[in-house]
Amino acid sequence: MLELNTKAPEFCKPNQDEVEICFRDLLGKWIVLYFYPKDNTPGCTNEACDFTKANDEFEDLDAMIIGVSPDSPKKHRNFIEKKDLEIMLLADEDKSMCEAYDVWHLKKFMGREYMGVVRTTYIINPDGLISATWENVKVRQKKTIKGEKIEILHANIVKDELERLKGEFNG
Cα separation, 167 vs 163, in Å, equals 6
Cβ-in-10-Å burial (0-12, 13-18, 19+) of 85 comes to: buried
Query: Of 114, 111, 90, which Cα lies nearest the Cα of 101?
Result: 90
Active site residue 44: yes
Of the candidates 12, 22, 44, 49, the residue annotated as catalytic is: 44
124 exposure class (CB count in 10 Å sphere: 0-12, 13-18, 19+): buried
End-to-end alpha carbon distance in the chain: 27
Region class of 71: left (phi > 0), else alpha (psi between -120 and 50), else beta:
beta
Question: How many Cα atoms sit within 13 Å of 60 on the Cβ side?
Answer: 7
The set of catalytic residues is 44
